[in-house]
Amino acid sequence: MSDLISGARADLVTRIDAELRERLEEAVEFLCLDVMVQRRGALGLPPPEADSAGDRAEFTAQVRVFLERLGDLAAGLGPEQRRKVEAAQRGAGDETARLLAVQLVLARELPDYWQRFDAARVAYAAERIGSGGERRGLFGRLFGGG
């Protein structure tokens, strides 16, 4: 009976980890796509296209930059938590997969992870989209006081 309970517990942990990973991937992808669309709109450029290799490369680069920025959430971890993060950093896969693995560890270890994630998301979007100042040009300076 003990083996059955251990197996069920392992299955549950695996399902929770998969759902957490999916939620994190969706949140990061949504943010990065939203930032691309808003930034391009602010600059008067067309939205990204799914079949554009350049747009996909830009999106992938933006995902990586945001995941790297989220690494700051690891500040102030205890020794055991740091060991878990370091193990995730050494994991299999490409750099983006390792960065995502670190975030999964942090999401499990930090009780306020999603609040921290949200604060980082807001700051990143504001930084990337900006106040529209890039777009102001001559008319903005003349009529907007910029």
106 in Cβ contact with 85 (< 8 Å): yes
Predicted model pTM: 0.79
Residue 135 has pLDDT above 50, yes or no: no
Quote the CA–CA distance of 77 and 142 in Å, as a whole number: 50
| 141 pLDDT tier (thresholds 50, 70, 90) | very low
Domain ranges, ordered by start, for the chain: 22-130
105 in Cβ contact with 99 (< 8 Å): no
31 in Cβ contact with 125 (< 8 Å): yes
Give per-residue pLDDT as tens, 55-90. Answer: 999 999 999 999 999 999 998 899 999 999 999 999
Give per-residue pLDDT as tens, 3-59. Answer: 767 777 778 888 988 999 999 999 999 999 999 999 999 989 999 998 999 999 999
Q: Give pLDDT, residue 143.
A: 45
Quote the CA–CA distance of 118 and 113 in Å, as a whole number: 9
